[in-house]
Amino acid sequence: MKKLFAVLLCVTVLAACCFTAFADNATAQLFSYYGDNMLFKQLDDVVLAGKGTPGATVTAVLTNSISDTVCQASTPVAADGSFAVVFTAPAGSYEEYSIHLSVNGKPFKTLSNVVFGELWLAGGQSNMQMPLGQSETGIAMQANDERGSDALRFLAVPAQGAYKGDVNLVPALPMEDYETPAIWYKGTDEQVYGMSAVGYYFAEKLIEELDMPVGILNANLGGTSIYTWLSRETIENDPLVLQDCKDNDRYISLRNWKENSINFGIDMTCNYNNKIAQLKNFRLSGMLWYQGETDLFWPDGQYSRAFDALQKSYTEHFSYKNGLLPIVFTQLATYSYGDLNALQTKNAEFASIQQAQPDSRALTSVYDVPLTYIPETHAIHPICKQQVGEKMTFAALGLVYDRYDTYTTATVASVERRNASIYVNFNNVGDGLMFDGNTAYGFAVCGIDGIYLPAKAERIDNDTIRIYNESITLPIGATYAFSQYNGYANLFASVNGEKQLAVSPFAVGDRRMHTWQNDAWTSCEYEQFWHAHSNEYSGFYPTWNAESASIRFVNKSAYSGEKGILLCANGNSDTFSISPNFTYDENGSTAYFHDIDTDWSDYGTLSFSVRVESDKDVAFSGLKLQANDSIWYTAAVAGENTDQILVPADGEWHTVTLDLNRLFPFGNKAAYTYSRNVLGNIRNATFTFTDLGAVGADISIDDFRFTADSEDVNDFDNKLHLENEDDFFVKIKAIFLAIISRILLLFK
């Protein structure tokens, strides 16, 4: 009996010694993205994850600012060495807490200055990545050493972190932690100038509105496709997305994955593996998304499918419990992408993406914000990020926090054609639709020919707009803000009687042929207009140029709208002229704007309104159209065999209509006319007037307007009308010019 007792005692002592040794040797470590100053989502799971000794117990104790224990939780370390301690976060407040972690009772980590509030992921490409220090107001903040709020917390995820110690290597599978640490900062830290400007302004405004801390997971990267932000599982488990990925040459099998030759911009799943996978233990309030420039030219529908996959997979990845993870996203700002219809087509697709899941998505528009930029940011990155961030805050307040019934940009609900007008009904109009100003801009309509012309618009009801053009009796399509640049489109949804979110660009009905690019010169409303090119040449340029005259944009010269052009001859020449500005100076050479539609081949007439302001008649002496470097034409006055017409000094408005199907090559009016089909790429258009009083005439000009071509003519449908011409030499000259113009056209 004594021997048995001795044996049991030895075993007990040995076990105790082993347990003590195990307890003393057990270790644990949190993943690197936990740290001081961090924020967790209020009233949701706080997950503290890391690696430790299998079988050990990890305990987390939450204490408040006076060191009272608020709660605690424990978990064993799994056989694979992983652990995740979970407890419920307290309600959001400005109180700072501490989290004390221990393994088998031995402290190993304390997180200080922890707050609870609302947590958002800021994802996307360069316009989301663009730092506060390069934004319009952020530049001034940094110059004056002004910082953000202490209640703002952000996790600086490495833009391109290391893998296996090399930033040029990309893992084929999701990473569990960051090799290059992700660090939490406060808005008061100097590093705030490097966080996403959109994320910063969003958070600061949300702090003000909710009166609690807001955190941003700053995980984005410039020049990246949406496929790079999707997991392999997401892509391969969705047959349509997988096929789209393959069609875009973006699919890489695990077998073919080469860690040293992956492109962060376009290769599937690389940014998910390197930046998003590690964040799965955070619980989100929602996601901000500013991306799409890289994927601009995808066929219709592909981006929508990828976006659906992104939202669904991130909902699961971040364990979001209330339906789909809310996403606030934005349309894209104007830039010259080479295709006049690419940008607006993508923005229209964004509207359909929002409409597909209206309860979990909110869309904002950005065409109504200024596009100022600095050389360091390039023209594709306008510095107006405060407006974008605060638009997103407004959207989030409605989508997630139930502050507003209308929080996403208004989109088309239904379309009806009645008589000679198209009526468009909208969702999400708030208190009602409103124009920013007295005149509607940015609308176009087309007839059965599919040629879009500028249109008038008027509000019929709170949620309905009538769109029409008097020259189109059977409209079949309408657009709004559907152009390369649409900054003066002015339809908004209102909240509390004030304009709020600009209505989404749209195209309804027929889009087969020739869209209208909202060319500003036709309205005569704008002295300067924004043009997007390469970096150093984007900006505001004059909409019109004058020769031997001065130009002013004034109210008294308006035939329609709010302004018109007052053209004052300087008296130094009998003739004076005005031309829409199609060019700019590029290092001493003449270059042409990329975003003006110079294809006039689908137009039949061009009219404008003119009034003589002085006391002598003025002659309109012709419209000169430079078709290319070698050929030019003048357009006949409609119904006349001349390119000139008298404008009487009677104080009345007169309409001059020019026939774009009757063109005089090189200005020769010897009965020779040429088809309008030579006008596929107008290089210059000059409207010339003759001052019959020879003292410096003043005229008002406004409302340049096209009609769609009603004739079906061939490219070489040129005719010689010599039956009314008796002069032999004039006939010979006309025949010679016809031959020359045909030869030049063949080799243009």
Q: pLDDT (tens digit, 9 = 90+) per residue, 706-733?
A: 999 865 433 333 444 444 445 555 556 5
Q: In this predicted structure, what is the pLDDT of residue 61?
A: 98
Predicted model pTM: 0.90
Q: In this predicted structure, what is the pLDDT of residue 627?
A: 85
Phi and psi at 398, nearest 5°, equal -85, -45
What single letter denotes the amino acid at residue 39?
L
Q: CA-to-CA distance for 95 and 283, rounded, in angstroms? A: 20
Q: CA-to-CA distance for 262 and 224, rounded, in angstroms? A: 12
Residue 443: strand pairing partners: 480
Using 50 as the pLDDT threshold, list the residues of the chain that sit under it: 1, 5-22, 712-725, 748
Long-range CB pairs of 724-729, under 8 A, 24+ apart, other chains included: 724/641, 724/671, 725/670, 725/671
Q: CA-to-CA distance for 464 and 1, rounded, in angstroms? A: 98
Q: Does residue 679 contact residue 606 with C-beta atoms inside 8 Å?
A: no
Q: In this predicted model, what pLDDT tens digit does every residue of 620-656 receive, in sequence order? A: 999 999 988 788 999 999 999 899 999 999 999 999 9
How is domain 123-229+269-300+320-399 classified at the CATH fold level? Rossmann fold (3.40.50)
Q: CA-to-CA distance for 734 and 720, rounded, in angstroms? A: 8
Q: In this predicted structure, what is the pLDDT of residue 669?
A: 76
Q: In this predicted structure, what is the pLDDT of residue 376?
A: 86
The number of beta carbons lying within 10 Å of the beta carbon of residue 258 is 11
Q: CA-to-CA distance for 643 and 664, rounded, in angstroms? A: 8
How is domain 539-746 classified at the CATH fold level? Jelly Rolls (2.60.120)
Q: In this predicted structure, what is the pLDDT of residue 88?
A: 98
Q: CA-to-CA distance for 476 and 421, rounded, in angstroms? A: 9
| Non-local CB neighbours of 634 within 8 Å, separated by 6+ positions | 622, 623, 624, 625, 643, 663, 664, 667, 669
139: left (phi over 0), alpha (psi -120 to 50) or beta: alpha
Q: CA-to-CA distance for 551 and 555, rounded, in angstroms? A: 13
Domain residue ranges of the chain, discontinuous segments joined by + = 28-117, 123-229+269-300+320-399, 411-518, 539-746
How is domain 28-117 classified at the CATH fold level? Immunoglobulin-like (2.60.40)
Q: In this predicted structure, what is the pLDDT of residue 326?
A: 98
Q: In this predicted structure, what is the pLDDT of residue 726?
A: 52
How does DSSP classify residue 297? T
Residue 683, token pair as written in the block: 């290089």
> How do beta strands 491-495 and 432-435 pair?
antiparallel
Q: In this predicted structure, what is the pLDDT of residue 167?
A: 92
